[in-house]
Amino acid sequence: MKPKPTSEFIWDYAPAPESTDHVKIESRYGLFINGKFVAPKSKKYFGTYNPATDEKLADIAEANAADVDLAFSAAHNAYEKVWKKMPPKERAKYIFRIARVIQERARELSVIESMDGGKPIRESRDFDIPTAANHFFYYAGWADKLDYAFPNRKPKSLGVVAQIIPWNFPLLMAAWKIAPALATGNTVVLKPAESTSLSALKLAEIIRDCDLPPGVVNIITGFADTGKAMVTHPQANKIAFTGSTDVGKYIQKATAGTNKKLTLELGGKAAHIIFDDAPINQAVEGIVNGIFFNQGHVCCAGSRLFLQENVADEVIRKLKDRMKTLIVGDPLDKNTDIGAINNKQQLEKINKYLKIGLEEGLEIYQSDCVLPKKGCFCKPTLFLNVAQSNRIMQEEIFGPVLAIQTFRTIEEVIEKANNTPYGLSAGVWTDKGAKIFHLTSKLKAGVVWANTYNKFDPTSPFGGYKESGFGREGGLHGLMGYLDM
């Protein structure tokens, strides 16, 4: 490792790509229905691509309404004939087994997650896959203790649940959805996002190899039409959705007037607040982690930064210095900080917002890193001197783009932070505990991190306010959405 002569900040790291030899990707995947991979009735397949190289990884089945129907029949039969009757402690053993096998196959799952979705291997290896396993471990523990979790309320399972997930944390979102549903005695039909189906299909293999009774978990792939058919299916007793606010609104309308239960985890535009008494160096790491982590493809990303006026210059200087050291490139390289943007449409959306910021006359800063010639990549970006009315301050970009404002008083920052239709998360950095408690009661956000950012734990509930949705995932609260009581 030697410093590059051109810059005092950049170090030249030797390439350290993770090997892909141990990864087995089939050329074509069917739908996982009733414990088996089956060819789709639609007879249609679509390609899934590596966004860092544009290379096609596999063909994936596109489920039509007839395929969706088969998946729900399988889930319904499995619920009535097997899962509903199984003693909870036996259900727990299956969930525990899935967790163990995810741990055993963690390396393979991490590489697949990075190849199919573009996230740095460090993220998938150290965060996504271990946290997915932890969710299964955690909910395995609850399966036979529901009467203690909700005393005197006689919790009952709902039946078949439909689960639809986005592309930003493919395996982790599948775990967030499937683990509590199984622990509460429900059976599942799950659809991953079209650009990141592979890790969910690998999870289907794991579920099959764990001998989970056929039909308890069905994993089907496809586009929006597949999702629509799931949401309106008469056998779906509950819909659990994570994704964009627009689709969330559509689903809420589509299920209105039915007795389907619904939980929605939608978009966000989190406020990240730095007071002048904060530990500045740690706060800068928190900011970087909050917005550049996972290319900003995080619903709770700290995409609006509020700096107390007297430390703003120092924070911005240190943030720019830190950005110069961020390595953007090959997701499979262990040194990479920022991987590939998940898909072409998302890169176009981010670039559209960069243009809007410039057209609105904002000052932009980007690190001078060189982007790879092929694939979908974006430089980490700051917009300075932003106003509340600027579109990049109001709208969710879902990329490594940070809008910065300053403030003087605590009342001012609370008002600015809450001035958004979203309410998923927020972060605050200060030395004063009293200030933290004051803010947590005033910020309209489901999660508020203090002196840290983007920390997740299966035992802790997560979810939104306002247009960020409703319902909680994780912790004891995460069981409630899957129970009738």
Q: Is 103 in the site for ligand NAP (CB under 6 A)?
A: no
Could you say which of 140, 193, 236, 479 contacts ligand NAP (CB under 6 A)? Answer: 193
Residues listed for the chain: 485
What distance in Å separates the CA atoms of residue 190 and residue 362, rounded to the nearest whole number? 42
- Would you say 399 and 353 are in contact if contact means Cβ atoms under 8 Å apart? yes
What is the distance, to the nearest Å, from the Cα of residue 76 to the centroid of all Cα atoms in its chain? Answer: 28
- Would you say 482 and 180 are in contact if contact means Cβ atoms under 8 Å apart? yes
What tokens does 74 get? 């399988």
403 strand-pairing partners: 304, 383
* Alpha-carbon radius of gyration of the chain: 22
Residue 244: how many CB atoms within 10 A of its CB? 15
Q: Is 64 in the site for ligand NAP (CB under 6 A)?
A: no
Q: Is 195 in the site for Mg ion (CB under 5 A)?
A: yes
Q: Is 376 a catalytic residue?
A: no
Could you say which of 67, 337, 396, 467 contacts ligand NAP (CB under 6 A)? Answer: 396
Question: Which residue number, 333 or 473, has a Cβ lying nearer to Mg ion?
Answer: 333
Q: What does the longest C-alpha to C-alpha distance in the chain come to?
A: 69
Backbone CA torsion sign across 359, 391, 250, 44: positive
DSSP 150-179: STTS--EE-SEEEEE--SSSHHHHHHHHHH
Compute CA distances 106 → 9, 99, 121, 215, whole Å.
Answer: 34, 10, 12, 25
Could you say which of 42, 73, 235, 244 contacts ligand NAP (CB under 6 A)? Answer: 244
Q: Is 378 a catalytic residue?
A: no
Q: Is 258 in the site for ligand NAP (CB under 6 A)?
A: no
CB of 165 to ligand NAP, least distance (A): 6
Binding partner at 164 among ligand NAP, Mg ion, none, C-beta below 5 to 8 Å by kind = ligand NAP
What distance in Å separates the CA atoms of residue 483 and residue 481, rounded to the nearest whole number? 6
Given the residues 18, 265, 396, 473, select the one marked as catalytic: 265
CB of 161 to ligand NAP, least distance (A): 14
Task: State the binding string over 82-121 for Mg ion (x if CB under 5 A, else -).
Answer: ----------------------------------x-----
Backbone CA torsion sign across 244, 247, 249, 255: negative
CB of 167 to Mg ion, least distance (A): 8
Given the residues 18, 123, 299, 467, select the one marked as catalytic: 299
What distance in Å separates the CA atoms of residue 288 and residue 302, rounded to the nearest whole number? 9
Q: Is 48 in the site for Mg ion (CB under 5 A)?
A: yes
CB of 202 to Mg ion, least distance (A): 13
Binding partner at 35 among ligand NAP, Mg ion, none, C-beta below 5 to 8 Å by kind = none
What distance in Å separates the CA atoms of residue 248 and residue 265, rounded to the nearest whole number? 8
Q: Is 325 in the site for ligand NAP (CB under 6 A)?
A: no
CB of 266 to ligand NAP, least distance (A): 5
**Applying CB under 6 A, which part among 162-170, 360-368, 411-419, 442-450 lies near ligand NAP?**
162-170
Q: Which residues are catalytic?
A: 265, 299
- Give the binding site for ligand NAP (CB under 6 A): 164-168, 191, 193-194, 223-224, 227-228, 231, 242-244, 247, 250-251, 265-267, 299, 346, 349, 396, 398
